Chain A
Amino acid sequence: MALFRFFSSLKLTVWLLGLSLVLVFFGTLAQVHFGIHETQARYFESFYVFWQYPLEWPAGETLRWIHLPLPGGFTLGILLVINLVCAHFRYFRPRWNRIGIAITHFGVVLLLVSGFLISAFQEESRMGIKQGSTSNFATSFHDNELVLIDHSHPDYDELTSIPGSLLKDGNTVALPELGLEVRVIDFMPNAMLASKMQNPTGPEPRANRGAAQRMGMFAVEKPSVSSDDERNNPTAIVELVTPEGSLGTWLVSDFMDQPGIPPQAFELKGKTYELMLRQKRIYMPFTLQLDKFSHDVYPGTEIPKNFSSDIQIITPGETSTQPALVYMNHPLRHGGYTFFQASFLAAEQTRDGIPWTIFQVVENPVWQLPYYAVAIVGIGMCVQFLISLSAFTNRMKKASA
């Protein structure tokens, strides 16, 4: 009972709201260092976090030891939901003049729950399409995969993907369908690549097949980055082992996944496989074709006025295509994915002078939930506001009468 009293008390509500405020404040400051993605993971999608006194602040050197422990977003969210539900059982009396507050609180619970669901289910990725070309996959911002691609079928490629989360030093991943084991000898979250040809004084390559062998490619580990405009180049040294013995070691890196760098391949049971470490790709059951990318500016200025992509949706098995226009604030929703005009490469920025469009691709099965939640809270607040207003005007009338 004491526990119920604790969890239903308004004092707890005030504490939780205050702590949420502090968390949001420090979670905003932290973005200067960590970027949004990292901050989100550390502060808002976590159970606790330690805030550290920033170096740039006054006396940063001497006060660097200050650490402030804070409950994370998950902790506060869960406690707020519990507190809200308990408080309702404790205080709620079915009274009409409180109906707005009840509706509002129900909406807030739904909003918090939708926050959890979205952080669990939402997948964000990017898709770049060159004008006049097509694409049927998006690449993940932050996840990687090690893939083995078999090009031998005439109609399709057969792809085996190992999620980046399994690439850890000393880990072995068995691929029984291929009759193969992948041993991770060394995984580097971020590394720089160079070759002995350009840089003869560099360290000896640590792999004996592929680019390492051919060009003397070696990797130098770098500290990980997390700001919004930098990206890690995950890199690994892997050994491929068959029951008959080792096929050798390869240096694989996300850095090699760009035009101009020849793929690394190996032979197994008469088939040729390509080996790649790359940003995780999300393949779609349809293809997008970019007909034209337009980019307007206001006359006589460099201020962008509008970006838009004229595209066609090509669905396999269907003869006709579906045209669509994606532009600012007007995304395309198709097949459970939403495509947003996020960015572009202007003709001047590309080597062949053909522009690219870049879509942000979001897969979020519960995207409508916050809309409902917000609508409910909004209705609740308005109802309560009107109730209070009429009560107030009645009081004023009585007072003046």
Chain B
Amino acid sequence: MSFLTRNAIPLVCLLVGMLIVVSGMRPAKYDTPFDIESFAELPVQAGGRILPIDSVVRNSLLIMRGRQTALLPDGETTSAIVWFMTMSFNPEAAEQMRVFRIDHDQVLGLFGWQQGDQKYFSFDELRPHFETIREQTSKINEQPELRTPYEKQLFKLYQALTLYYQLGGVLHPAQDLDTLPEQYAEWATIAIPGKQAADNYAADAPADWRVLAEYVRFAPRYEELANNAYFSIVPPRTAEQEEIHDWINVGEALLHTQETGEVDPVVLDYAELTVAWRQADPERFNAALASLHAQLDPHANLGKIAFEQFFNQFEPFLRAWILYIFVFILAALSFLVLPQSFQRAAFWVLILAFIVHTFGLLARMYIQDRPPVTNLYSSAIFVGWGAVVLGLILERIFRNGIGSFTSGLVGLLTLIIAHNLAKTGDTLEMMQAVLDSNFWLATHVVIITAGYSAMFLAGFLGVLYVNWRLCPGRLDKNGRTLYRMAYGITCFGLVFSFVGTMLGGIWADQSWGRFWGWDPKENGALMIVLWCALMLHARIGGVCRETGFMQLAIAGNIMTAWAWFGTNMLGIGLHSYGFMDKAFVWLMIFAGSQLVLIGLGFFAPSKPRPPIEA
């Protein structure tokens, strides 16, 4: 075969892959003279870190709707930032947008709705039922772990509504938006004398009643904003705040006027934005935006903000996920037709997917200034990544499409898991004090997670093996290779799981004087170590043969899933930071499916296999 015929299919496939990647890189186009892009990049402070406003808004929609977009009344989707701007500048219009996801029939039943009609609801549609929601929510079980699925969904809806309310008051009080600048001007003149009058009144001293009456038109509302705003928009104003990088929210900034007699310029500019938007005046809007950036940018790491904004838009893990599906299909095809071409195509696209995946991983590390694994979400990202590294190595050595096939499969499955784990909010959240150690996060956590990668890879090699075993002739060529791959990866898994677990022991000894505390998560890791040891000893001792070893490898999937997720579901122990509810059902489904696959290995093969050497 000439170079071209050998490489035509791989080249075309790689090109398609590149298109998928590049399509995410062009900046979002908004068909409007308002500079939405620049608004999205305004720095704010939420959850203890400074980030572009777009990140907060996307994460909020993930919590409410499970996606990073909002649904317009006509069924079209719109970007998170446009939804947020609508909500802030034109609340009535935003109330028509469908941003609340409800799919539990009993919750829908509360409002007289049937399951199946629609999944997403607008604020406006829910408005008549607020009293019902409030009343029913007050009845649910106080202990989160004992709640029924109905109670969990209802509580989630309640939280989503609270979040909606809090987001509505993040830039300004959500009423009388057209007169915001006038209100602020009035407040600036009344704030100091008003506060004085209120203090006098509280101290039973004579107070100016007219001033007091003016004052109470504003102060309580601002007080409420200060208590409820979801994130902070005003950079540090005092040396004390500056020292701990403490931004203040709009309510706090407005209350601060009681000491200075002036409304903070950032708050004024946001009011200017609002009015300009409402009067459809893009020039005025963009000018106010420029002024805001001039004030806020010095308080933020601009490179990081812009980078995070690019990261948000590019969605590297979504793109890597699409590529993994592609790899999986190509590798599967290679087992049926044109093995050489499709193997190569799968391998090339796998490399591309790996690059995108690696970029996403590094980008998170850069934004967060942390090692790659900091929470359950990032562990899913990393498990997939680790499996792909190992798969690439296998493919490089054996060149038979198996490495691409299995690592593509593990890659796409783990990214689906990651996507579902992201629905709890900011995945770049701050670390709890006890976890605040980059050294241990970089060693113990990363190594143990790499151990999970190896276990899953070996397990999926086993899955491939038991399936091929039923196809006549399939294993003649590849059976021994698959077995050797699984054996090598299991050894790797044992080393990583053991070293990772023991590093955890050292960390524990350093943190609370207990090398080993039988904590559920520690036990999970220990179970993986024991399982690997069992597999290797069963093999060397002749307790199992080739098929048996592959069945044990599949069972390793169950152990790993238990260590990874199951232990967190117990809701106890030092590692229960990643508690989840719905995932239990999925864990059971996964364990069940693996058991079925192990059972498959007991069916008569196409022809007897020779015994293996010890």
Contacts and interface: CB of A to CB of B under 8 A. Distances in A.
B541 A13 contact: yes
Contacts of B456: none
B31 to A, nearest CB: 35
Contacts of A10: 537-538, 540-543
Contacts of A124: 513-514
Given A18-B534, A31-B570, A328 B541 contact: no
B514 A298 contact: no
A176 to B, nearest CB: 38
B437 A381 contact: no
A17 B530 contact: yes
Given A306-B436, A360-B513, A364-B513, A9 B541 contact: yes
Query: Which interface residue of B491, B537, B538, B562 has the most chain A CB atoms within 10 A?
Result: B537
Interface stretch (A22-30, A165-173, A241-249): A22-30
Given A299-B45, A300-B46, A381 B541 contact: no
A53 interface: no
Contacts of B432: 303-304
Contacts of A328: 433-434, 436-437, 511
Contact of B512 (A13, A300, A307, A360): A360
A50 interface: no
B515 A370 contact: yes
B570 A17 contact: no
Contacts of B48: 297-301, 303, 305
B138 to A, nearest CB: 23
Nearest to A56: B146
B518 interface: yes
B492 to A, nearest CB: 8
Contacts of B440: 329
Interface string A310-354: 000000000000000000111100000010101000000000000
B511 A300 contact: no
B433 A307 contact: yes
B246 A305 contact: no
Nearest to A104: B498
B572 interface: yes
A266 to B, nearest CB: 39
B154 interface: no
Contacts of B520: 28, 31
Interface stretch (B355-363, B502-510, B589-597): B502-510
Interface string A353-386: 0000000111010010011001001100110010
B465 to A, nearest CB: 20
Interface string A210-253: 00000000000000000010000000000000000000000000
B153 to A, nearest CB: 21
| Chain A binding surface SS class | helix
B594 to A, nearest CB: 16
B177 interface: no
B514 to A, nearest CB: 7
A32 B570 contact: yes
B513 A385 contact: no
Interface in B32-63: 45-49
A299 B515 contact: no
Size category of the A interface is 35 or more
A81 to B, nearest CB: 14
Contacts of B523: 24-25, 27-28
A372 to B, nearest CB: 12
B4 to A, nearest CB: 26
Contact of B495 (A21, A122, A374, A381): A381
A360 to B, nearest CB: 5
Nearest to A35: B572
A115 interface: yes
A199 to B, nearest CB: 28
Contacts of B572: 31-32, 228
A300 B45 contact: yes
Contact of B530 (A21, A360, A377, A378): A21
Interface in B285-330: none
A118 B537 contact: no
A44 B518 contact: yes
B524 interface: yes
Contacts of A29: 570
B244 interface: yes
A365 B511 CA distance: 17
Nearest to B440: A329
B531 A301 contact: no
B281 interface: no
A28 B246 contact: no
Among B488, B515, B538, max chain A CB count under 10 A is at B515
Interface in B398-419: none
B570 A28 contact: yes
A25 B527 contact: yes
B511 A340 contact: yes
A367 B515 contact: yes
B533 interface: yes
B149 interface: no
29 contacts: A10-B538, A10-B541, A10-B542, A13-B541, A14-B534, A17-B534, A21-B527, A28-B567, A32-B570, A44-B518, A118-B515, A299-B245, A299-B247, A300-B249, A301-B47, A303-B432, A304-B433, A305-B433, A305-B436, A328-B433, A328-B437, A328-B511, A360-B512, A370-B516, A371-B509, A374-B506, A385-B495, A392-B488, A396-B397
Give me the 6 closest cross-chain CB pairs, A-B, nearest first.
A10-B541, A298-B48, A362-B513, A299-B246, A17-B534, A374-B502
Interface of B: 45-49, 231-232, 244-247, 249, 397, 429-434, 436-437, 440, 488, 491-492, 494-495, 498-499, 502, 505-507, 509-520, 523-524, 526-527, 530-531, 533-534, 537-538, 540-543, 559, 562, 567, 570-573
Interface of A: 9-11, 13-14, 17-18, 20-21, 24-25, 27-29, 31-32, 36, 39-40, 44, 115, 118, 122, 124, 228, 296-301, 303-307, 328-331, 338, 340, 342, 360-362, 364, 367, 370-371, 374, 377-378, 381-382, 385, 388, 392, 396
Given A27-B523, A300-B48, A303-B47, 17 more contacts: A17-B537, A21-B559, A25-B527, A115-B516, A118-B515, A296-B244, A299-B245, A301-B47, A306-B436, A342-B512, A361-B513, A362-B513, A367-B513, A370-B509, A370-B515, A377-B498, A382-B495
